[in-house]
Amino acid sequence: MRSRTIALLTDFSLKDPFVSMMKAVIRSINPNVEIIDISHDVSKFDIYEAAFILYGSHKYFPQNTIFLVVVDPGVGTGRSVLTVKTERHIFIAPDNGVLYPIVKEYGDSATIYVIDEDKIAYTPKSFTFHGRDVFAPLAAYISLGYPLTYLGKVTTSNSIVKLKWVKPTIKNNVVLGQIVYIDSFGNIVTNIPVNIIPWIKTCKLLRIKVEGKVGEVTARYVRTFANGKPGELIALEDSFGLLEIAIYEDSAAKKLKVDRGLKVEIRKGE
C-alpha cells in the first residue's frame, strides 16, 4: 500500500537544517510523497509532549498518512525502531514511549513491528542523527509500499517502552487529572475529557486546585474563549475534547504560573 502523505513531528527546531535534511532524504527516495509538518518545536527531548501532540492531532490526517516522530534522546544507543500500523495510519518512532498512547488507544487492532534498520539505513549511518539516516529512509520506503513484514518483525505491546500516561479519575465528584499541554496562547490543557464529567452540563463554575499551589481558583465554565471577560479565568471544552483553562486574549498559564505535569483537582463550584 502506498502513502501520499508523511507527517513529521520532531524537537529539531526549524532554525537548524536537520528537518530539511530529513525531507531531502525522503524526497530522494520518493519524490511524489507530500510532507506535512506537525511541529518541530516540541520541547527538547520531551517524549511526553510529543506523545500528546501526536495523540491529539492524528485523527484528522488523511487515511494512510505515515507519522514520523523523531524525539530521540537515545539515538545511537541500542534502542529499537518501531512501526505501528492501525486501520487508518502508520506510525514510526524510536521505542521510547512516544507511541505508547497510540498503541493503548488502538489495542489489538494495531500491529507493532520492530524494524531491521539494516534493510533501509543510509550508509554510512551516523550515531547521532537517525532522523536522517534511519527514520527518513524508513518512512520513504514505507510510503513506496515496502511491506512492513519485510522491514521488521511483529512484536507485542508488552515488549515496547511504556509512557506514564495518566488517565483522569473521578472520586466523590472530584475529578483528578493532570496538565498535559500548554499551548502557544497560554491555554492550559488537562488530560480530562469533558464528557467523562457527569455534572459538567449543569455546571456554571469550577473550583480548581493545582498541585503545589495554595488554595483554589475558580473558573466560569463557558462555551468559547470570547465568553470570558477581560482577565477572567474560564474553563471550556477545547478542540481535543479536553477540559481547558483559559483567559480570553491572555495567557492563563502565565497568570496561574503553572507548568505541564502538575496534577489538578476539579470540583463543581456552582
Nearer to a second copy, 55 or 113 (CB): 55
Minimum Å distance from CB 56 to a second copy? 7
Minimum Å distance from CB 70 to a second copy? 13
Is 254 an interacting residue with respect to a second copy (CB under 8 A)? Answer: no
Is 260 an interacting residue with respect to a second copy (CB under 8 A)? Answer: no
Nearer to a second copy, 13 or 169 (CB): 13
Please report which helix (H) or strand (E) contains residue 143, including its range.
helix 136-143
Of 25, 120, 175, 258, which one interacts with a second copy (CB under 8 A)? 25
Determine the interface stretch with a second copy among 40-48, 146-154, 164-172, 254-262 (rule: CB under 8 A): 40-48
- Name residues contacting a second copy, limited to 73-92 (CB under 8 A): 73-77
Is 123 an interacting residue with respect to a second copy (CB under 8 A)? Answer: no
Comparing CA positions, the residue from 228, 231, 233, 227 lying closest to residue 269 is 233
Grid coordinates representing 259? 507548568
Is 57 an interacting residue with respect to a second copy (CB under 8 A)? Answer: yes
- For residue 161, the Cα-to-chain-centroid distance in whole angstroms is 16
Determine the interface stretch with a second copy among 7-15, 145-153, 197-205, 261-269 (rule: CB under 8 A): 7-15
Of 93, 106, 113, 133, which one interacts with a second copy (CB under 8 A)? 133
Q: In whole angstroms, how far apart are CA 6 and each of 20, 33, 247?
A: 14, 7, 35
Give yes or no for a contact between 102 and 42, defined as CB atoms under 8 angstroms apart.
Answer: no
Is 203 an interacting residue with respect to a second copy (CB under 8 A)? Answer: no
Comparing CA positions, the residue from 207, 204, 62 lying closest to residue 143 is 62
Minimum Å distance from CB 156 to a second copy? 25
Distance CA 96, CA 79 (A): 8
Determine the interface stretch with a second copy among 29-37, 101-109, 147-155, 158-166 (rule: CB under 8 A): 29-37
Residue 29: CB atoms within 10 Å: 17
Grid coordinates representing 225? 474563549
Distance CA 99, CA 51 (A): 6
**Helices 136-143 and 18-29 meet at what angle, rounded to 10?**
30
Cα angle value 59/65/67 (rounded, 5°): 85
Is 37 an interacting residue with respect to a second copy (CB under 8 A)? Answer: yes
Question: Which residues make up the interface to a second copy (CB under 8 A)?
Answer: 4-5, 7, 9, 12-18, 20-21, 23-25, 27-28, 31, 34, 36-41, 44-45, 53, 56-57, 60-63, 65, 73-77, 126-129, 132-133, 183-185, 223-227, 236-239, 244, 248-249
